[in-house]
Amino acid sequence: MKYYIGEITERNGEFEYNTKYLFATYCAPEEYSNDVAMEWRGSDKDAWDEALEGYWCDGTLIFDGGSKEISQEDFEVLKKYLSIL
């Protein structure tokens, strides 16, 4: 199992904000973090915008901000402060 910190980026009009989260997976982290972005605010595959490379939900565009592998020790500390998805 590998451990990661991921990021979701939301664009709502002129405003853009990021949310960090933790996850652990055996699969490719890109697949996992893309699924999180797709389901972040209740979107689905049909909400994908190819031109903007994000998912639409209620006027907000949601992007997979990527992920970075971290050690299990860091994961154990960070899970006290960040959500695990």
In a domain, 29, yes or no: yes
**pTM to 2 decimal places:** 0.86
Residue 85: inside a domain: no
Q: Which domain holds residue 46?
A: 2-78
Q: Is the dihedral of CA 51, 52, 56, 59 positive or negative?
A: negative
Number of domains in the chain: 1
Q: The tokens 């299990």 sit on which residue?
A: 72
Query: Which is more confident, 42 or 55?
Result: 55
State the pairing for strand pair 60-70/15-25: unpaired
What confidence category does residue 79 fall into, taking pLDDT thresholds of 50, 70 and 90?
Answer: very high
| pLDDT per position as a tens digit, 22-52 | 999 999 999 999 999 999 988 777 889 889 8
Mind listing the pLDDT tens digit for each residue in 13-23? Answer: 999 999 999 99
Res 76: pLDDT? 96
